[in-house]
Amino acid sequence: MAKKIQITINSYDELENPENYKLFVRLNEVITSKLVCEHKTCLNLRFIKLMIIFMIVITNLACKPIQNSINQQSNEIVKPKYIQKALLNAKQIEKRIWMNEGLGDLNNLIVWNKGEDFASLGIGHFIWYPAGKPKVYTETFPKLITFLQSENINIPIWLQAELGAPWQSRAEFQFATNSYKMKELHYLLANTFQLQIQFIIQRLEHSLAKIVQNLPTQARKNYISSQFNRVAIENNGVYALTDYINFKGEGINPNERYKGYGWGLLQVLDNMKNTSNTMVEFASAANFVLERRIKNSPPAKNEHRWRNGWKNRINTYITFPN
């Protein structure tokens, strides 16, 4: 007379999940209810038992990457909507900023403007001072190089070792125009436009927190945050904020003052008045603080030469296509 064989579960590390355990027991019951204990049949039972374990283990392994992916996504910090919009429109913003800074001409990718103490490099004309020179304005080019390195871009060895721009003056810069270093630098900047705009957007992402951190009262923090957010939700707002933060900075550097007045994003937001047309208001406030800068600037700097170009740039905050 044939005997029914009951397959028992001993200790299987693979079956830690209670649901898998129940599944195994049920399959075990189904199989053993239909098979009899002949010598060959017992061997078949052992084989089937091993196959069930194997299938459950494989299923668990297949599910783990999915669960890990879900866990990873849940741990990611969601970026503000205005930054998401900036990243979505990065190419368009990149073209406009490059037009503002260098007229879209690769010959303007590496420049040293007359009357200035620093080189202006890349699509954002990032400032780079010679080593040992006073840094009146916020220096951004070394931070760009650090960012490019974090994105696994090969940086020329000489550029990694430089503590400052290798040219001590505009004349020295112009003399080195056709040098090997200059050509390497130009090649690097000409082939990283996409990452350079990412760097500028990253600066915008951190700007509001840096600005409000420097304000003395909660009322001031709330007001500046409110004006920032008003601009950020406008069609042209993300472009305007991204461009201005690169153009004139956050406005919190104490060195960036003439007669006690700054000209950065903080000062622009501080001069907004809650009118019905946010972008016209933002542009008017920007023109006001820049005109004040020109008025308060040392005559030797001859800053009135920039007036028309600055006004044209600010006007794009209103007319820039959506």
Q: 28 or 195: which carries more pLDDT confidence?
A: 195
Is 2 within a domain? no
| Residue 245 and residue 130 in one domain | yes
User: What does pLDDT average to over the chain?
Assistant: 85
d(CA 270, CA 289): 10
| Residue 144 and residue 219 in one domain | yes
| Residue 119 and residue 22 in one domain | no
pLDDT tens digits for range 19-72: 555 554 565 554 445 544 445 555 465 666 666 665 655 555 555 554 555 455
Sheet bearing 126-128, strands edge to edge: 110-111, 119-121, 126-128
| Residue 189 and residue 234 in one domain | yes
Is 308 within a domain? yes
CA angle 314, 317, 321 (to 5 degrees): 135
CB 231 within 8 A of CB 244: no
Provide the CB-side half-sphere exposure for 97 (13 A, CA).
32
**pLDDT confidence of 153, banded at 50, 70, 90?**
very high
| Residue 191 and residue 172 in one domain | yes
| Residue 166 and residue 40 in one domain | no
Check residue 78 and give its pLDDT.
87
| Residue 100 and residue 117 in one domain | yes
Domain end position, chosen among 27, 59, 75: 75
| Residue 281 and residue 179 in one domain | yes
d(CA 128, CA 164): 7
Is 134 within a domain? yes
Is 3 within a domain? no
pLDDT tens digits for range 227-269: 999 999 999 999 999 999 999 999 999 999 999 999 999 999 9
pLDDT tens digits for range 81-122: 999 999 999 999 999 999 999 999 999 999 999 989 999 999
d(CA 214, CA 234): 26
**Chain length of the chain:** 322
| Residue 161 and residue 261 in one domain | yes
The pLDDT of residue 5 is above 50:
no
Is 187 within a domain? yes
Is 247 within a domain? yes
Is 92 within a domain? yes
Domain end position, chosen among 36, 53, 75: 75
Number of H helices, E strands in the chain: 14, 3
| Residue 148 and residue 20 in one domain | no
Dihedral of the alpha carbons of 123, 129, 135, 136, in degrees to the nearest 10: -50
**For a pLDDT cut of 70, what percent of the chain falls above it?**
75
> Shortest CA distance to 246 belongs to which of 113, 141, 117, 104?
141
Is 64 within a domain? yes
d(CA 263, CA 266): 8
| Residue 21 and residue 130 in one domain | no
Domain that holds residue 98: 81-319
pTM score of the predicted model: 0.76
**pLDDT confidence of 11, banded at 50, 70, 90?**
very low
| Residue 166 and residue 245 in one domain | yes
CA angle 159, 164, 170 (to 5 degrees): 105
- The tally of domains found in the chain comes to 2
Domain end position, chosen among 75, 95, 117: 75
